[in-house]
């Protein structure tokens, strides 16, 4: 595979990706499965280094499927290493530990020493980030020992993580020792990026123990190297340490400049930890300068990021502990079943031997044969009881697996509901706070229009010079138009607020069995009447393709009616706009189709209107996104429908469209909501 060798030697990642894709295509054409797996793993690594994590996961999973077909356990250990690294970088610690623990036994069994060492380093890093130092230190030391002299990258990574663990324990001597070791290996390997990381770690360690002179030396070196290499991922760390040093010496201008630049780079890299540290520094610097407005703003951002990181930390620890507990329990059950089968096999062999002895001595020792036969019968009964017990153990194991799956699903639902409830409360609070001043604006604007009219009437009765009359009349007209505009836009804002309240309101009422066909037709009637109210010339044909004996779904009538009403209203608007463009030659048509999918019901609403441009297709369900002119839409209708169907009922809402031709929205709703289907 010369192409793969060229990809590894390529000086930049984009060029490496192009070469490796060419190698993958060639291997697929030749039917070379080994070449395909090597190319897929390399593509996953290159995509991960470009922070394209979804693409990296896609390539790794393709390689995993090929290795499973080949029963290649050594290759699977490499796949699990790559998946663990992808989840580690993204902060998905529970998934990363899961992948690492699945890959480590495979690497040990197949003698893949390099993969085993890298998995040890990865798992050690995960345990360190979760704060489990007792588990992290032995794993990292094993990785450091196995990788020394063989895998410099793993050695550097293990030494760096050990230094971080000992720094958190305030063991400065060991922390500096391992950071210096990582720096020495990076310099021997001429690995500039790892050398820069080691310099940042040394600067932070010296800052933590109050040695500001050494911290300034190492952070200055790290910043210069990162700036020269245009490494925007490491540069913020060096700049934040320098900013802390300047803040400590009351050099506020330098501290603010560095902290602001670090904040900008961290926003681009989406580094939560750096964003937290940068906002904290900016809040302190602005407070010392006396700019308390900016200090308060950055303090609020710092607290928000801090809360986010703490919440994620707690969740990760809980997930990891729970996973470890379930894993240990399953392993114990598997070990028990294996031992039971071994005993059963040994008993079967012993029984056969005894039976042969009985048959050999049957002619001469009838009494002994009878006693032995009785012994065999008793053992067979015991074996039957043992088999029954074995079946009970297997059934209990299956029940435990199902219960674990249901618990995980329930936990995910509870987390999602809690997030949506918090977001709904925030949105409702903001909308209620806006509603009162908005009502004052609308009321006073309306009163001002009436006062302007009365003023015009009064002035008409007064003796005003011919020179001043036109000017006064013009000013009154402008004032009246301004008040009318204020009232018009105030009404639009009032509509947005009401839609926000509808968007944040969770479904109220009890679930009941609903006739989907009748409910959809009622939603059409309401939407059509609303469209005719706005435009009396609008007429549309409704074509019905309703599934007979469709049955019912369990839900809240107002929720599903609201979701379908928004979709029908969108269809009416699209056809009305196209009728304005084409005139009488165009006939608006809306098609309502329902289908029985067994445990689900499908509802499709299709129109022959203006369609949706491909450029805005991805944004169509986003709150407040609309293509309608001002005053005709708030951008919350489709978003509300999407939340009701997907989050409220666990269904799906998708659409297909061709610009200028048609748009079709498809809702799939379970007959029973997700919470009703989950048994705990």
Res. 151: pLDDT tops 70: yes
Out of 327, 360, 393, a domain closes at 360
Please give the Cα distance from 202 to 180 (Å, whole number).
8
Of the given ranges (281-285, 407-411, 539-543, 579-583), which has the lowest mean pLDDT?
407-411
Helix (H) or strand (E) holding 235: helix 235-248
Is 402 in a helix, a strand, or coil? helix
Of the given ranges (242-251, 294-303, 586-595, 616-625), which has the lowest mean pLDDT?
616-625
Please give the Cα distance from 669 to 556 (Å, whole number).
12
Res. 644 pLDDT band, cuts 50 70 90? confident
Q: Which of 322, 343, 354 shows the shortest CA–CA distance to 94?
A: 322
- Contacts of 120-123 with C-beta under 8 Å, sequence gap 24+, read 120/146, 120/158, 121/147, 121/154, 121/157, 121/158, 121/161, 122/81, 122/84, 122/85, 122/88, 122/96, 123/84, 123/97
602 within some domain: yes
pLDDT recorded at residue 3: 39
* Mean pLDDT, residues 533-539 taken together: 83
Name the residue range of residue 641's domain: 512-677
CATH at residue 220? 1.25.40.10
Out of 331, 360, 389, a domain closes at 360
HSE toward the beta carbon, residue 16, CA cutoff 13 A: 20
CATH at residue 584? 3.30.565.10
Contacting residues for 510 by C-beta, under 8 A, at least 6 apart: 556
pLDDT in tens, 435-481: 667 776 877 777 787 777 777 787 777 777 777 777 787 887 878 88
- Provide the residue count of the chain: 680
pLDDT in tens, 120-130: 889 988 888 78
Please give the Cα distance from 216 to 243 (Å, whole number).
10
Please give the Cα distance from 432 to 330 (Å, whole number).
51
14, 21 contact by CB (below 8 A): no
HSE toward the beta carbon, residue 82, CA cutoff 13 A: 29
Q: Which residues pair with 576 in a beta bridge?
A: none
635 within some domain: yes
Cα–chain center distance at 594: 32
pLDDT recorded at residue 143: 87
Helix (H) or strand (E) holding 602: strand 600-607
Q: Which residues pair with 605 in a beta bridge?
A: 592, 665
Q: Which residues pair with 601 in a beta bridge?
A: 596, 669
Tokens of 626: 């609309």
Q: How many domains does the chain have?
A: 2
592 within some domain: yes
Res. 103 pLDDT band, cuts 50 70 90? very high
Res. 606: pLDDT tops 90: yes
Number of continuous H segments (helices) and E segments (strands) in the chain: 22, 7
* Mean pLDDT, residues 46-64 taken together: 88
HSE toward the beta carbon, residue 61, CA cutoff 13 A: 7
130 within some domain: no
Res. 7: pLDDT tops 70: no
Is 187 in a helix, a strand, or coil? helix
Of the given ranges (7-11, 249-253, 449-453), which has the lowest mean pLDDT?
7-11
pLDDT in tens, 206-216: 888 888 888 88
pLDDT recorded at residue 432: 60
Out of 325, 360, 395, a domain closes at 360
Please give the Cα distance from 518 to 547 (Å, whole number).
12
pLDDT recorded at residue 676: 45
33-49 helix and 73-90 helix, angle to the nearest 10 degrees:
10
163 within some domain: no
Give the predicted TM-score (pTM) of the model. 0.42
416 within some domain: no
């Amino acid at each position: 595979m010369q192409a793969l060798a060229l990809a590894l030697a390529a000086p930049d990642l984009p060029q490496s990706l192009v070469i490796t894709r060419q190698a993958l295509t060639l291997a697929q054409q030749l039917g070379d499965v080994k070449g395909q797996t090597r190319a897929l793993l390399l593509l996953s690594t290159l995509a991960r280094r470009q922070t394209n994590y979804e693409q990296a996961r896609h390539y790794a999973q393709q390689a995993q499927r090929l290795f499973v077909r080949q029963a290649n356990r050594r290759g699977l250990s490499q796949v699990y290493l790559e998946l663990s690294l992808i989840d580690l970088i993204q902060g998905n610690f529970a998934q990363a530990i899961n992948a690492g623990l699945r890959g480590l036994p495979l690497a040990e069994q197949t003698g893949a020493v390099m993969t085993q060492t890298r998995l040890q380093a990865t798992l050690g890093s995960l345990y360190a980030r979760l704060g489990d130092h007792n588990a992290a230190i032995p794993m990292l030391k094993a990785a450091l020992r196995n990788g020394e002299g063989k895998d410099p990258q793993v050695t550097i990574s293990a030494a760096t993580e050990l230094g971080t663990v000992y720094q958190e324990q305030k063991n400065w001597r060991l922390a500096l020792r391992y950071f210096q070791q990582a720096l020495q290996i990076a310099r021997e390997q001429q690995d500039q990026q790892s050398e820069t990381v080691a310099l940042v770690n040394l600067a932070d360690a010296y800052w933590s123990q109050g040695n500001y002179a050494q911290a300034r030396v190492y952070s200055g070196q790290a910043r210069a190297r990162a700036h020269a290499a245009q490494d925007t991922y490491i540069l913020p760390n060096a700049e934040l340490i320098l900013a802390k040093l300047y803040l400590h010496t009351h050099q506020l201008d330098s501290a603010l400049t560095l902290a602001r630049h670090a904040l900008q780079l961290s926003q681009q890299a989406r580094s939560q930890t750096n964003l937290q540290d940068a906002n904290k520094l900016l809040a302190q610097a602005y407070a010392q300068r006396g700019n308390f407005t900016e200090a308060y703003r950055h303090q609020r951002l710092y607290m928000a990021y801090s809360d986010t990181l703490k919440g994620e930390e707690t969740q990760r620890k809980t997930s990891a502990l729970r996973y470890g507990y379930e894993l240990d329990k399953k392993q114990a059950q598997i070990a028990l079943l294996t031992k039971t089968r071994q005993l059963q096999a040994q008993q079967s062999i012993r029984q056969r031997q005894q039976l042969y002895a009985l048959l050999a001595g049957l002619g001469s020792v009838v009494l002994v044969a009878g006693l032995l036969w009785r012994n065999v019968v008793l053992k067979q009964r015991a074996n039957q009881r043992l088999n029954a017990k074995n079946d009970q153990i297997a059934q209990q194991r299956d029940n435990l697996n199902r219960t674990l799956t249901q618990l995980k699903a329930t936990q995910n639902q509870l987390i999602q509901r809690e997030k949506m409830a918090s977001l709904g409360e925030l949105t409702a609070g903001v909308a209620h706070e806006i509603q009162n001043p908005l009502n004052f604006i609308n009321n006073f604007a309306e009163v001002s229009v009436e006062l302007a009219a009365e003023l015009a009437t009064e002035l008409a009765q007064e003796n005003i010079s011919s020179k001043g009359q036109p000017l006064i009349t013009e000013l009154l007209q402008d004032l009246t138009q301004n008040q009318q505009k204020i009232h018009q836009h105030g009404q639009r804002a009032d509509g947005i607020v009401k839609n926000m309240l509808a968007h944040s309101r969770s479904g109220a009422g009890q679930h009941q069995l609903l006739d989907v066909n009748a409910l959809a037709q009622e939603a059409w009637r309401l939407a059509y009447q609303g469209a005719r109210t706005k435009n009396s010339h609008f007429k549309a044909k409704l074509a019905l393709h309703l599934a007979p004996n469709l049955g019912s779904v369990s839900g809240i009538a107002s929720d599903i009616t609201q979701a379908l009403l928004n979709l029908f209203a969108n269809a009416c608007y699209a056809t009305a706009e196209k009728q304005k463009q084409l005139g009488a030659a165009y006939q608006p048509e809306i098609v309502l189709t329902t289908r029985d999918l067994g445990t689900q019901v499908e509802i499709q609403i299709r129109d022959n209107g203006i369609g949706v441009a491909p450029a805005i297709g991805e944004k169509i369900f986003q709150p407040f996104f609309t293509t309608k002119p001002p005053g005709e839409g708030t951008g919350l209708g489709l978003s509300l429908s999407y939340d009701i169907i997907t989050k409220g009922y666990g269904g799906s809402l998708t659409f297909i469209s061709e610009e200028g031709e048609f748009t079709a929205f498809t809702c799939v709703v379970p007959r029973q909501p997700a919470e009703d289907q989950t048994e705990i």
